[in-house]
Amino acid sequence: MPIPHPIHHNPKLDEWLSAQGADLELRQTVLAMAAATAAIAGEIRQLALEGTAGLESGIINVQGETQLKLDDVCNQLCLDLLQQVPVVRYLVSEEIDHVVTNTYAPGTHDFAVCFDPLDGSGNIATNNTVGTVFCVLDCTGAQGDAEQKVLSSTRNQLAAGYALYGPATLLVLTTGKRVAKFALNEMTRLYELVRDDIRIAPEASEFSINMAYAPLWPRPVRTYVRNCIAGKSGPRGKAFNMRWAGAMVADMHRVFIKGGHFIYPAMPKKGEPDGKLRLLYEGIPMAMLAETAGGAAMAGTQRLRDVVPTSIHQRTPVSLGARDEVMLLAGSPDLVRAA
């Protein structure tokens, strides 16, 4: 069945997806998500004009976090656009406690889209960068109820992407072959291809972590960061820089473009034994993008994409980006010796 909503039309994005070998169903799904992000970009600017961007919705979400009105608006836009795609059977959102089942129409496959509609929402009040991050899973043939089907399909990841609402609105996408960057044309409201060969260099001299939690980090993270900031005279023998935007999408975008290493570790001493970031709609999408760009993605000492989730809002430690740095932190014996 064709998609009735004209907003899904985005010829250059569709062309790129076709060139990646994406079938019609996957293209429709990604185009719907892209349309949602274009609409979100407009909402963010509109609320800023109205002076209401930082207002709270009055709801504490399933994460126990205070929801902004904008979190809710962005969530609704993602739901509204994705639910018009017949193949999108299941939706998992940071803002909804359960798996939403789409009853629009049966497709030939069952896809799940897992999304964080507004990443870094704490940045909204100060007009700093925020984003949207998502992945598409193929649940076709999976067993059990909706939640079990989604949880057992995280290794069948068909696509991942994020939008970055900064000075320009960007969309970074992969279907597992290449990582491409699109920019939103503000006149046509359509995404245009800017670059389709984003690679993360294996070495890096920049890391990204919230230093305020240093006393709470696990020992390997403390040692790793201490060695980085020791600079040229330290065990690493080179100077490192540090950046923290407070939105994973913004911090990871810098890693994709300039190289680097993003870490949000487990912090048992802070009551966060699995860290803060969520596996299904923050960790797994960024891991697919990072690995496809030649980088690495670990959850502690385990490859992040190999973690089998047991709940949809499960958290995960993340270490993402430059392969040598990620593997050094994960304790790869060769690299530990080299350091």
Which residues here bind ligand AHG, judged by CB under 6 A? 65, 94, 116, 119-122, 210, 246-248, 264, 276
Establish if 118 lies at the interface with Mn ion (CB under 5 A).
yes
> Cα(139)–Cα(148) distance, rounded to whole angstroms?
10
CB of 247 to ligand AHG, least distance (A): 5
Smallest separation (angstroms) from ligand AHG to the CB of 331: 23
Q: Which is nearer to Mn ion, 71 or 138 (CB)?
A: 71
Quick check: 279 and 298 in contact, CB under 8 A? no
Partner touching 276 among ligand AHG, Mn ion, none, CB below 5 to 8 Å by kind: ligand AHG
Is residue 119 involved in binding Mn ion (CB under 5 A)? yes
Region binding Mn ion by CB under 5 A among candidate stretches 108-116, 144-152, 236-244, 297-305 = 108-116
Residue 134 contacts which entry, Mn ion, ligand AHG, none (Cβ below 5-8 A, type-dependent): none
- At residue 332, φ and ψ (nearest 5 deg) are -55, 120
Q: Does 138 bind Mn ion (CB under 5 A)?
A: no
For 281, the token pair is 């709609």
DSSP 242: E
Q: Which is nearer to Mn ion, 116 or 325 (CB)?
A: 116
The C-alpha atoms of residue 108 and residue 169 are separated, in whole angstroms, by: 33
For residue 286, the minimal CB distance to ligand AHG (Å) is 10
Angle between helices 69-82 and 24-50 (to 10 degrees): 150
Which residues are bridge partners to 115 per DSSP?
93, 134
Contact 119, 249 (CB under 8 A): yes
Nearer to ligand AHG, 202 or 246 (CB): 246
- Answer whether 30's CB lies under 8 Å from 114's CB: no
Question: Tokens 């992000």 identify what position?
Answer: 37
The CB-of-215 to ligand AHG minimum distance in angstroms stands at: 14
Rounded least distance, CB 235 to ligand AHG, Å = 27
Beta bridge partners of 91: 100, 113
Binding positions for Mn ion, rule: CB under 5 A: 94, 116, 118-119
